[in-house]
Amino acid sequence: MISKFTQSTYHPICDQLAATDADLAAIINAHGYPPFWSRPNTFETLVHIILEQQVSLASALSALNKLRERLTELTPDRLLLLTDEEMRACYVSRQKTIYLRHLAQALVSGQLNLAELEDMEDADIRAKLTALKGIGHWTTDVYLMFVLQHADVFPIGDLAAVNAMKRVKKLPPDTTKEQLLEISLAWKPYRTIATMLLWHFYLSK
């Protein structure tokens, strides 16, 4: 059964988590509720998430804006018309140019249908997306959380979430991923919302 959250259930879930975890409660007390981070289920959104891999949010956004500017409408067909030089002029690296073209081709050929993902289970979505070059678990996690609003995802590959968790929980810097995942189980079935609280703490700092 897919567990999702909505704008109307968001704050109540935050409260529910705060009631069982004093560290999460302290984040809400100090910084208020996190924003309701949400993105539409579009090619442009997946392009944006791929551009965000391993770079600052600001530089990913400037590349996305350059692509929007050049193409007017960011669609798979239009992106496939851009040359390597044009992609470079939009601040897109050679590696990410390959990833974005693979994604565009998968959508044009029908290998991937974003609307179909909306009713699929996490594991099936993960299998579909990670089969594409350049889409790994972090990209899939962000897509599940921001786009499909799946409620129980902990993005262990996200440095901001991991570092925030170590600080909030006062964990040693060398705490392993396995240990962090074990601790995150206390937040089931709402690990996505717990992560959004951690991001909120991280950004508020």
Q: Which amino acid is at 110?
A: G
Q: Are residues 75 and 138 in the same domain?
A: yes
Whole-angstrom distance, CA of residue 66 vs CA of residue 82: 12
Question: What pLDDT, on the 0 to 100 scale, is given for residue 59?
Answer: 96
Nearby residues of 200 by Cβ (< 8 Å), 6 or more positions away: 27, 31, 33, 34, 35
Which of these three, 107, 125, 147, is where a domain ends?
147
138-176 pLDDT per residue, tens = 999 999 999 999 999 999 999 999 999 999 999 999 999
Whole-angstrom distance, CA of residue 78 vs CA of residue 146: 25
Domain count for the chain: 2
CB count, 10 Å around CB of 201? 24
Per-residue pLDDT at 1 exceeds 80: no
CB count, 10 Å around CB of 176? 8
Q: Are residues 54 and 84 in the same domain?
A: yes
Boundaries of domain holding 117: 43-147
Question: What pLDDT, on the 0 to 100 scale, is given for residue 205?
Answer: 82
Q: Are residues 63 and 128 in the same domain?
A: yes
Per-residue pLDDT at 118 exceeds 90: yes
47-72 pLDDT per residue, tens = 999 999 999 989 999 999 999 999 99
In a domain, 107, yes or no: yes
31-45 pLDDT per residue, tens = 999 999 999 999 999
In a domain, 47, yes or no: yes
Whole-angstrom distance, CA of residue 62 vs CA of residue 132: 24
